[in-house]
Each structure stands twice: as structure tokens, then as C-alpha cells.
Amino acid sequence: MTVLALIVVVSMTGCKKSYTITVKSNNDAWGSVTGSGTYKDGETVTISAIPADGCYFNGWNDGNTENSRQIVVTGNAEYVATFSDTPGGGGGEPTGTVVQNAVTDVDGNSYDAVWIGGQLWMKENLRTTHYADGAAIPAGESGSSDTEPFYYDYSGSGIPLTERGYLYNWPAVMHGAASSNANPSGVQGICPSGWHVPSDAEWRAMINYVGSQSEYTCGDNSRYIAKALASPTGWNNSTKNYAVGNDQSTNNATGFTAVPAGNYNGTTFYNAGRYACFWTSTRSDNNNSSQLYLFYDYPDWTWSPVGKYMGYSVRCIRD
């Protein structure tokens, strides 16, 4: 008797991990979105933004303006579509449009603001000594802390207070709020009511937008946008091409007016004229938080994790 053995070879492939893609609208009355769901690692997903009648799609929170757009899934991610009810973005005006006396803090200081890519940013550094709830922010006389809030006055910078503002450590900026990298951050922190501390993601959305507009870039490089953000005076001089300190009169095409107010390291004020440094609401790790800076001798922007005890400038963005 002949026995036939049937050998079955089963080929199995490893299971791919699944991730969640979340797609949101910045205002459900202005537009809706599609594409949210759970997808396999490496899968290509199409996300779309659908403006409501009479409204406009301005771009995504990461600065991308494609619609619809394809995403290759590599991890959990969130995409926010920015809609507006008027051309120009964010329910406001075209980039560079200044809103005078856009907001007043609890101390009575009034700030102008500027529209950039659908976001309304303060165009002046914050200079409040109180939170919106009236609580005082202690003045830092000397020393530093990464847990207790302080503000610092770099009075020797040579820049008027109305331009330089105060420098704040990260605890003062956050006012007890947890780190956030959402867009919008949801962190009012030190900002006046109706405004909030921009997250790393919100800063990057603004930077990406500016870099996508040829009128704001230098040398056809999308990173060379520092001059478009920097104030037209107050910087150290530089001979480098496209640097902020080179031909300062050509700075500030966006109207953002970043002032080189310097910083404070817990013992010393320094770098006035050299650096404009701004906090984000995003923590890098237990000891550091994210900040953006412009440097007089560079043509581009830079991010860096820094100690929470450091004193930097603050710009708020409207809710």
C-alpha cells in the first residue's frame, strides 16, 4: 500500500501595527473634514477639508496647504484643517495686516497684533506682571527656578520696555498648565483672556506658512525667513547674506516684528541685539522646554530645548 503524505506549507506574514489618524476642523461651522480612522503602519490615507458655503480652507496645522492630501501612516497623528469665513485666513485678514490695540492685558498694556497665515499673533512682546485672573507674577531679582514663576526686566538692553517686554521663565508662562503640543495649544497661561501660549506645533505652522510664500523667503530657501519675521532695527550688524543683521531696513515683511530682547540665564542678562527668543507651551523633557529663536547672524529660524528656569520673551496668539 502506498501512503501519500500531503505537506501543506503555510506562509504567514507578520501583523502590522495599527495607528490612529485624527482629522479635525478648527471650526465646525466653517468646514468639515474626512479621513479619521485606524490604519495599518505604512498605509496611504487621503484626508480632505470641505469648506462650508461662503467659507474658505486655508491649510493644515503643519503648514501644508494641499487639499485633498495623502498621508503615509507611521504613527498616531492629528491633522487640523484651518477654515475661515473670509478670504485671507482665520476669519481675519491677509498676512501682514496689523490690528491695532488688538488686546489689553490685566495691567492695562495694549498690544497690536498681526495676521500671519490665518493666525492672529501679538506683534509685541508681552509685558504683564499679572495673570488674567489678577494673580501677581513675582519679579525675579536674582537666581532662577524651574518650578516657581518669575519675570525679569532686562532694563540694560537699550531697548524700550514697550518693545522688549519682560522675560519670563517657563513656570510663569504656563501658570500651572500642563505641556501641550496641540494646535491650538489650549494653554492660556500668562496670556490675556481670549489668547493663549502658542505650542511648538502652532509656531511650526506659522513658520511653514511663511516659508511657503516666496515673498518672505531669501535665496529661494524656504528656511531663510528670519528677515521676514525680524524687527527692522535693534539687531547687531552682520555681513552674511540674508542674515537678520544685514541691511535691517529690509526686515519684517510679515509684520511680526521679532525684537532682539536677549535672555536671562538665572544670573546674567545677555544677548540683547543678538537673539530674539520665544517660549512655546511644549515641554521637551522633564527639565527642558521648547523655544524658537532668531539670531542676528543667521538667515533661518532655529528651535532648541532649554531649561525651564531661563528667561525668554513671550508672544501670544488669539484663540
- Determine the pLDDT at residue 85: 60
- Determine the pLDDT at residue 87: 52
Report the residue count for the chain: 319
Sign of the dihedral through C-alpha 280, 281, 283, 288:
positive
Q: Specify the pTM.
A: 0.74
- Determine the pLDDT at residue 9: 42
Residue segments in the chain with a per-residue pLDDT below the cut of 70: 1-14, 63, 85-92
Chain-centre distance of CA 112, in angstroms? 18
CA distance 217 to 128: 33
Query: 2-29, pLDDT tens digit by residue?
Result: 444 444 444 444 578 999 999 988 778 7
- Determine the pLDDT at residue 108: 95
Supply φ then ψ for residue 228, to 5 degrees: -70, -20
Q: What does the DSSP assignment read for 2-51? A: -----PPP---PPPPPEEEEEEEES-TTTEEEE--EEEETT-EEEEEEEE
- Determine the pLDDT at residue 29: 77
Q: Are strands 119-122 and 269-270 parallel, antiparallel or unpaired?
A: unpaired
Q: What does the DSSP assignment read for 237-268? A: P--STT-TTSSGGG--TTS--B----EE-SS-
